[in-house]
Amino acid sequence: MIQRRDFSIGLLAAIGFSSTAHAHHGWRWTADGNVEVIGIVKSATLGNPHGVLILDVEGEEWTAEVGQPWRNARAGLTDAMMAPGTEVTIIGQRSADPNEKRVKAERVRIGGKLYELYPERA
């Protein structure tokens, strides 16, 4: 007969294990403070569940995470505006891992116009 206590401990361990590590969702994986990354779009993978731009930043490859469809639309950004070949400025938080060239956009500047993906984070 297994004791009730053993079951509770097992369940707690399972819950603890399932809440570690973050990479995409939220901002826990990013460093505080904004960075600006200016680059040319090499490829764009837009739409659910994540919008991702691969940028050529003076020869270095950066990955920029933009919004889901509703967030991009709210900001006034269309997929066509982020087509390969476009120069974009990504303003946002970069990965807390300094070796990872990945930035999550709070706002995007294209052709001198600013698009606010996270107006509440301004």
Partner 1 sequence: MLVDLLTALQSSDAATALRKSFWVYPVINAGHILGLAMIFGSILPMDLRLIGFWQKTDYQQLAKVLVPVAATGVLLALTTGIALFSARPLDYAFKPLFQIKIAIIIMVVLNALLLHRTTLWTTAPTEGQPPSRFRIAGIISITGWVSVIITGRFLGYY
Q: Which of residues 92-121 bind partner 1 (CB under 8 A)?
A: none
Instruction: Give, in order, the Cα–Cα distances in Å from 78 to each of 60, 75, 103.
Output: 25, 9, 19
Lay out the site mask for partner 1 across 73-92 (x = CB under 8 A, - = otherwise): x-------------------
Q: Which of 48, 98, 112, 122 is close enough to bind partner 1 by CB under 8 A? A: 48
Query: Hey, which residues does 116 pair with through a beta bridge?
Result: 107
**β-bridge mates for residue 93, sequence order:** 104
CB closer to partner 1, 51 vs 89: 51
Rounded least distance, CB 45 to partner 1, Å: 8
Q: Which tokens hold the place of 80?
A: 């066509």
5 touches partner 1 (CB under 8 A): no
Rounded to whole angstroms, what are the CA distances from 100 to 23, 30, 95, 119?
Answer: 11, 10, 6, 26
Minimum CB distance to partner 1 smaller for 65 or for 91: 65
- Residue 24 CB, nearest approach to partner 1 (Å): 5
Q: Does 49 bind partner 1 (CB under 8 A)?
A: yes
Segment near partner 1 (CB under 8 A); pick from 35-43, 66-74, 91-99, 113-121:
66-74
- Whether the CB-CB separation of 98 and 58 falls below 8 Å is answered with no
Could you tell me whether strands 60-66 and 35-45 are parallel, antiparallel, or unpaired per DSSP bridges?
Answer: unpaired
Please state, in angstroms and rounded to a whole number, the distance separating the CA atoms of residues 52 and 104: 9
Binding residues among 9-28 for partner 1 as defined by CB under 8 A = 14, 17-18, 21-25
